[in-house]
Amino acid sequence: MRVGKVCYIGLSNTPAWAVMRAASIAEFRGWAPVIALQTEYSLLRRTVEGELFGAARELGLGVTPYSPLASGVLSGKYSRENQRPEGSGRGKLAEAFLNEHTFAVLDVLRELAGEVGASVAAVSLAWVRQRSEVISTLIGARTTAQLDANLESLAVTIPEESMSKLDELTKPDLNYPFEWLATLAAPVQQSGATVNGVTTPPYKRKF
């Protein structure tokens, strides 16, 4: 007699190769399936879009991000002028993000927050929520005000043009072979065709 006590499996902070291996073994042996990934993900931490998001799409896994505000840096309380805001509970973790690129991202977020009538935190969370791979977002709040600011994001929809602007501004530097596939392989293989929404110019070989 078999007693099943594990119905579904979720993996957290796991390399993509291990995710694929675990999911494949479970599938081949008829075990409880891997259905979800928990990853750190925010406008300032996007490298998971390479291997891990690729695995999630291929396997049909839901992605549940944590630290969507990058340890509070994207909450709106940090700025060039105030890099150590009062009451910051994760100051040490936040320090790693405090650079000119981050402040440029915050400039755009504040502008967009004014346009949609929401807080910077709400817009930052809405960006995460609107990613197609994301099924749920883990939020952390120490105060009622923080919780209200986080929940405010549910009423925010970032326009497509603004999403594209944020995407381009925070575009991650993915590891090999992603750049190679985009800049070299795709043009050669597709040569002017549109595949999965990606159009490439006709390939002309130079001798």
What mean pLDDT comes out for the span 22-34? 94
Q: What is this structure's pTM?
A: 0.83
Average pLDDT rounded to a whole number, residues 134-159: 88
Concatenated DSSP letters of 147-207:
HHHHHGGGG----HHHHHHHHHHT---PPTTHHHIIIIIHHHHHTT-EETTEE-PPP----
Which H or E element spans position 144?
A: helix 144-151
Q: Which domains does the chain have, with CATH numbers?
A: 9-172 (3.20.20.100)
Give, in degrees to the nearest 5, the angle at Cα 63 between 60 and 65.
Answer: 175
pLDDT, tens only, 108-140: 999 999 999 999 999 999 999 999 999 999 988
CB 135 within 8 A of CB 62: yes
Q: At how many degrees (to 10) do helices 100-116 and 120-129 cross?
A: 90
The sign one gets for the Cα dihedral 57, 61, 62, 63 is: negative
